Structure 1
Amino acid sequence: MKTLENQTLLFDEDCPLCQVYTTSFIKAGMLDENGKKSFSNLSEDEKNFIDIERASNEIALVDNKNKTVIYGIDSLLKVIENSFPWMEKVGNFAVIKFLLKKLYSFISYNRKVIIPNKKTEKTIQCTPSFNYKYRILYIAFAILMTDLTLYNFSELITDLPKGNFSKELILALGQILFQSLFLMKFDKKVILNYVGNLMTVSIFGSLLLTPILILNQFLSIPEIMIIGWFGTTVLIMFLEHFRRIKLLELPNYLCYTWVLFPLSFLILIL
């Protein structure tokens, strides 16, 4: 690997994904040993030429020699292209770069609802700006993914009424609206942050159900095992939801209303 020297990526130390790929760049020899730095450890000199707000939203690559900075997908492409020159043409192709920027923004603006962290007393924190467009897109993506998984999984349980996509969509939207009713005293950013976390729990549950859906294509899985797997998944989701409620410092009763709504829906359809 060709090392990009005198360049430092500023990473969010509370973001596991950010830690993994910045460390991987160094281990692979794509950046030198000083190739990453925690955002909270910025020096006063660096604060003078780095756009702090932009660096919170888009990972910054600092040229330590010339004191210049590039941000977001451009910074990642520069590191990669230095070791893989052929990537320069691919990464800078207009359509591909446009899609990469949109994907990067989609993940970056939602990273705190994908992987939340405790509030800290740091003087400077790498917290992305609240972006309504990308938050709503994330919620819509999560609803679609969850609905497709639940629709296919419900087909494996014969005692349940035959599922359909519309029914799963109503359940997902109803759950969001029902939970939001208990947060009316909070502002809309708090509500959307919670809904983002709620939908991450749903995605997590969908991923846990996916192995059964795949195995069922090749094996005849006993229905009791399918039901047991589903029950275990719901329990894990409940615990993860509870953990996130604690991190967000929201009322504990949201965990119980989260269970109440789908149970009521299930009773109605049965």
Structure 2
Amino acid sequence: MKTAHYYLLYDEDCSLCRWYTNTFVRYGFLQSDARMPFHKGIQDARFSFDEDRARTEIALVSDQDQPVRYGIDSLLFILGRRWKWVELIGHFAPIHFLLRMLYKVISWNRKVIAPVTCTTDCRCEPPLNRFWRLVFILLCGSLTYVLVGSYFTAYFQENLRWQTPGLEGGLFLVQIGFQFLFFRVFRQRDFWMYAGQIAVVSAIGALVLGLALLGLNLLSSAGLDVQFLEQTTFGLVLGIMLLEHARRVRMLGLTKWLTVTWFIFRLAIYPLIFIL
């Protein structure tokens, strides 16, 4: 195997990290023992690497005299052992820059995307980086603006009180501000983490609505009447978002009243923007 003597030090408390490193093993990109939890890697005398950097950029180390690779370079190296063209394209400067930026957004916010209860004292927990958290929130807001806006335009255009560009993005930001006020009232800690969770819940809802839009368009093109499904689907998506918000708040140990205020905001805002 071309990756023999290499070890990928992953965050065992990150479900995303567990999934993709296990995928590498399952499909033969790595040997089974080459997938090593971060906390074991820092205790192994064979390896010398930047522990702080490895918390945010997964490290590929070797028990031989080989350079340590971090982040997207680790992943490109592993994929390149089987598909050389992937590594070549990935290292083309403009593409490599975009891949690095995408990797950083995901890595710095991985515990926001998939929150977990740590089993090893969060030894590989990335520290808060406000810049990358803000970038992540803005990306989620942009996704919400595009997909929810497309759904509103397709099915609720005549029911909107205002035909204002950016309405959905504005609602996204207003909800974060609304929740911030009650976050302070309830004396909770780490609003940056919670703001990320609000963004993820909105992005999940936007993605589901985007898929629903495709499905409803297919049904409509087949000659079926989807008018009832248009509103029903939107209501179901709100229900999914409510349950997901409650789940994430519970996992973070925050007060359940944040879910109540999240729901109150939704109940209050829709009569203001829709003609019922």
Q: Is 1:49–1:67's contact at 8 Å kept on the other side of the alignment?
A: no
Change in 2 beyond 3 A, CA 1:92/1:222: closer
Find 2:226's aligned residue among 215, 222, 228: 222
Q: Is 2:10–2:18's contact at 8 Å kept on the other side of the alignment?
A: yes
**Structure 1 residue 68: Cα displacement:** 5.0
Q: Determine the structure 2 residue equivalent to 1:31.
A: 30
Distance 2:42 2:88 in 1: 35
Q: Determine the structure 2 residue equivalent to 1:157.
A: 156
**Structure 1 residue 13: Cα displacement:** 1.9
Distance 1:52 1:238 in 2: 38
Per-residue CA deviations over 1:156-203 (Å, capped at 9, x if unaligned) read 13672265433222211110100001122455xx11110101110111
Find 1:235's aligned residue among 208, 216, 239: 239
Match runs of 1:128-167 below 5 Å:
128-155=126-153, 156-157=155-156, 160-161=159-160, 163-167=163-167
Per-residue CA deviations over 1:70-91 (Å, capped at 9, x if unaligned) read 2111111111222222334322
Q: Is 2:148–2:210's contact at 8 Å kept on the other side of the alignment?
A: no
Q: Determine the structure 2 residue equivalent to 1:177.
A: 177
Distance 1:166 1:79 in 2: 41
TM-score by length of 2: 0.88
Q: Is 2:41–2:47's contact at 8 Å kept on the other side of the alignment?
A: no
Change in 2 beyond 3 A, CA 1:148/1:52: same
Q: Is 1:179–1:258's contact at 8 Å kept on the other side of the alignment?
A: yes
Q: Is 2:8–2:58's contact at 8 Å kept on the other side of the alignment?
A: yes
Tell whether 2:64 aligns with 1:60.
Answer: no
Distance 1:62 1:193 in 2: 30
**Structure 1 residue 24: Cα displacement:** 2.1
Change in 2 beyond 3 A, CA 1:47/1:249: farther
Change in 2 beyond 3 A, CA 1:158/1:101: closer
**Structure 1 residue 65: Cα displacement:** 2.5
Distance 1:235 1:96 in 2: 38
Superposition misfits of 4+ residues, deviation over 4 angstroms: none
Distance 2:134 2:201 in 1: 16
Q: How many residues align?
A: 266
Q: Is 1:10–1:36's contact at 8 Å kept on the other side of the alignment?
A: yes
Change in 2 beyond 3 A, CA 1:125/1:158: same
**Structure 1 residue 67: Cα displacement:** 7.3
Q: Determine the structure 1 residue equivalent to 2:68.
A: 69
1:165 aligns to what SS in structure 2?
coil
**Structure 1 residue 214: Cα displacement:** 1.0
Task: Give RMSD over aligned pairs.
Answer: 2.2
Distance 1:222 1:159 in 2: 16
Q: Determine the structure 1 residue equivalent to 2:201.
A: 201
**Structure 1 residue 9: Cα displacement:** 0.4
Distance 1:262 1:10 in 2: 42
Q: Determine the structure 1 residue equivalent to 2:3.
A: 4
**Structure 1 residue 241: Cα displacement:** 0.4
Distance 2:70 2:230 in 1: 46
Q: Determine the structure 1 residue equivalent to 2:260.
A: 256
Return 175-184 or 145-154, whichever deviates more. Answer: 145-154
Gaps of 5+ in 1: none
Q: Is 1:151–1:164's contact at 8 Å kept on the other side of the alignment?
A: no
